[in-house]
Amino acid sequence: MTDQAISAPPIDEKSRFSHSPISPRFGSELEGVTLLEMTDDEVGALKQLGAERGVLVVRNQIMTMDQQAAFAHRLGELTTYPVKKAGSLPELLEIHADEKSRHVPGEKWHTDISSEQKPPALSMLRMEIVPGSGGDTLFADMYQAFASLSPEMQLILMRLTARHDPVGHYLYLSGEKTLKELPSQIHPVVRTHPLTGRKALYVNSGFTGKIMEFSRDESRAMLDMLYQHIAHGISFQIRVRWEPNTVVFWDNRCVQHHAAWDYFPQVRHGYRATAIGEVPYLEH
């Protein structure tokens, strides 16, 4: 086999778009793609590739908020958000930080609103304004996070469930609802992805409150170990550098992310749409 054949980016046979890996087993950057011109087959292939690679980066995508919302609806039923100002769309969550910001959402490893009965599937974040440097998003592969644990630990985790509390929920953080109005949910600690059949670790420091089968102290010790495993798992993490008009998709069922807050007082502005997934389950 020639060097050229080895380095050539894979081409999805159904969609015919090519993609280059960001790391060998996690993340891909799509090439020669215009999202707004995708066929239904290509959108289906995008969702499947997102499930397999976890994170997809697409550069130079010029679109309006209305166009982004319309495309996002092709990914599935969408999470909707309170409309705060004129021109806002319920399908799009504004992501904004500037010289007045003291904190930004997502400053620790998490997967979005896992306290929902049907937590998110694919998220789509489009950035319009980015800082000159900084503001990257870090992603961690929960397939590899689970697979890299010892076989005995994997067996233990597959017998466990965890309560996910809405402490990081956008409705709570925005003051729209109280914690009492946002119920917790119990999900398996390890879940099966419906599009790949692969197992992924499904606890996160943003939402997971307790492992149900353990005492409080046992739960905290186990969760702390797993969070450290994720945070220090350099071999299954990637870092995405944003450019204006970049769109990034990530599959919340098998990916956690962390927004780097290192660019104060520069501006970072964009919009995120998120498709609703299914009730998490584990196939043994």
For 218-253, the pLDDT digits (tens) are 999 999 999 999 999 999 999 999 999 999 999 999
Mean pLDDT along residues 6-32? 76
Residue 214 lies in a domain: yes
Cβ atoms of 106 and 258 within 8 Å: the answer is yes
Which has the closest alpha carbon to 251: 125, 145, 147, 80?
Answer: 125
Residue 72 lies in a domain: yes
**pLDDT of 88 higher than 60:** yes
DSSP-based three-state secondary structure for 162 = strand
Residue 2 lies in a domain: no
CATH assignment of the domain containing 219: 3.60.130.10
Higher-scoring residue by pLDDT: 186, 173: 186
pLDDT for position 225: 98
Cβ atoms of 77 and 276 within 8 Å: the answer is yes
pLDDT for position 16: 61
pLDDT for position 247: 98
- Phi, psi (degrees; rounded to nearest 5) at 275: -80, 145
Show which residues are catalytic.
110, 112, 257, 272
Question: Residues 6 or more apart from 47 whose CB is under 8 A from it?
Answer: 75, 122, 195
For the stretch 146-158, pLDDT in tens is 999 999 999 999 9
**pLDDT of 9 higher than 70:** no
Higher-scoring residue by pLDDT: 262, 104: 262
Question: In which band, very low, low, confident or very high, does the pLDDT at 2 lie, cut at 50, 70 and 90?
Answer: very low
Residue 7 lies in a domain: no
**pLDDT of 72 higher than 50:** yes
Domain count, the chain: 1
Question: In which band, very low, low, confident or very high, does the pLDDT at 1 lie, cut at 50, 70 and 90?
Answer: very low
Task: Kindly report the average pLDDT of the chain as a whole number.
Answer: 90
Strand order in the sheet with 185-188: 185-188, 161-164, 208-211
Higher-scoring residue by pLDDT: 74, 177: 74
Q: Which domain holds residue 250?
A: 18-276
How much is the pTM?
A: 0.91
Residue 4 lies in a domain: no
Residue 272 lies in a domain: yes
Return the residue matching tokens 């709570």.
Answer: 172
Residue 6 lies in a domain: no
Mean pLDDT along residues 11-29? 81
Residue 28 lies in a domain: yes
